[in-house]
A and B are shown apart, each in its own frame.
Chain A
Amino acid sequence: MSDTARRSRPLGIAVPVIACVLVYLVGVLVVPLLALCATVLSNLPEVVGQLTTPEALHAMGLSLVLAAIALGINLVAGIAGAIVLVRQQFYGRSLLDALVEMPLALSPVMVGLGFFLLFGRTGWARPVIDALGLKVTFAFPGLVLATTFVTLPFIVREVGLILKVQGTSEEQAAATLGASPWQTFWLVTIPNIRQGLELGATLTVARALGEFGAVLVLGGAISGETQTATTFIHASMEERQEPAAYGMAMLLAAAAAGLLAFLQSRRRR
């Protein structure tokens, strides 16, 4: 499709449709975003004050740590999963595929409930974790579990899409030329899937920073302990500390925009 083909289109139908599209996008997305910015900027000293309390800083730090852990786990599990799902044929492959996609469709609250039923006071897995001396609900491991669950599909899916397009010919060539499987993996597979890896990793971090329902149920949002950036916003709203809630929301929105901008800049190259 050339540019002349685009330009030569009669504009009669285009103008009203594009006007509708712009009004809709501005109304649904842009105006609420600007409203938050305006609210925060008009009250900046109080917002800064409420965001530099030890509780707020702890919540931010915890969210970053959880995102980093989820990224680390998913880099390993995601690449392994993509290779298994795309390159191997076995009985139950489509079931495994559906399970991997499941976190995208489940309500986060249900994720929290499921783990709560497993690890809570009367949970099935309780004897095991008690024997190990672990605490999952209302504790750090529960937050890790919740975050890892909701971020499972991203790297698997994005790397899988690239693996599917590329096939295995390059790996076969490397093996024929005498490369060990490990060399082939690091020198051929990893550079080839880099783009999918970047996209999947960015989505993983974004989702981890923004996870709310599952960490609320499983972590209990104990201030200064299991409270993350999102559950901090929730608690601040309930305590009518709007400046704190709006400020933290703005930080998370800015982080999301930054991650998207990073993706755009990588895609252009």
Chain B
Amino acid sequence: MFGYVRPLQPELRVRDYDAYHAAYCGLCRALAKRYGFRSRFLVNYDMTFLFLVRASVRPAARTRNCFCPARFWRKKPCICDDGGYDRVSACTVILCYCKILDNIRDSGFWKGLGYRLLKLVYHRPWKKASKDAPEFADLVRAKLLALSELEAAQSPSLDATADAFAAIVSACADDLPDEAVRRPAQALLYQVGRHIYLCDALDDLAEDLRADGYNPLRYRFVPTQTGLQAEDLAYLGRLMDSSVNLAGAALSLLPVRQYGALLENIVYLGLPAVYTAVKTGRFRAKAKEFPRKENQP
């Protein structure tokens, strides 16, 4: 359920593109620093967005050239904002560990073996992250339990299921002390969480129809064998657009000091672009055929 929140690159300014890279690499570095080398593998776009939201209201942090294990012959610029990354890295570890647990539950014995191994690998980082953000770990556990109950009951409510996930994403901003920052950040992350959940549901729909798995779209609408009917898809598109607008309205209220244009790009351009790709089935295909060298800075 990661990777749906990203900027639309052709519309990014070069400095915003560099800032995004530096934030991504900074998260990777912060994960390694706090939770060990293995946690570097958990870095993802969605959590980079979370960092950008939190960092946007803070004074600009130093960017340094840091060692990158993926490209050890060349240092890469990283944002070194330990205070900003603390909560984000804890949330990343907790969410990824819960995702592993979820995959173990959903997989058969043989396919689940890999996830069981991953669970062993990430158990210690998860324990440490749970100590760092205990209230977030409890909330994630409670909301995922509520979500699995809704799934077991085959709930046709898009909102109730999306709410469970959106509340988790929104809780990543619960610790912000200033209400003028916390409320818009929570509202923004809530709508982004909804967007992620609904995109993921649409992305998985064909597979769930084949495997007879739970998908809220399957019970809310009347899908054909390949996916949703055109009018249902149009309605879902309007729901997604409205979520984007509410997220944008929340972003306007965030007292940003930096990364404003980057965040606007992600919300107004990146989210709709990813939804369009998911809708047309190009999202997964693009991920595989992504040209590896072309986009390097």
- Do the two shown chains form a genuine complex with each other? no
